[in-house]
Amino acid sequence: MSYEISRLTEAEQQQLQRVYEDLKELAESSVPGVAAAARAALAQVATALSGEGLTYELYSKELK
């Protein structure tokens, strides 16, 4: 079984990098809920930037 490899455009990669930097700052927030949400989102953005995530349709028939 093989899967199609999707690549980010340069613009998408730069946009995600900016989001990552903003989330890093928010992860230091003194508001516990904000810091926790930012840390969780950082993990997702880091996965997207590294290209190690799998397309969602591999896990769900609802989204293609």
Q: Rounded to two decimals, what is the model's pTM?
A: 0.69
Listed as ranges, residues in the chain with pLDDT below 50 are 58-59, 63-64
Map tokens 């930012």 to a residue: 38
Q: DSSP secondary-structure letter at 13? A: H
The per-residue pLDDT for 37 is 95
Residue 31 phi/psi, 5-degree rounding, is: -90, 115
Kindly state the tokens that stand for 35. 């810091």
> What is the end-to-end Cα distance of the chain in Å, rounded?
18
The per-residue pLDDT for 63 is 44
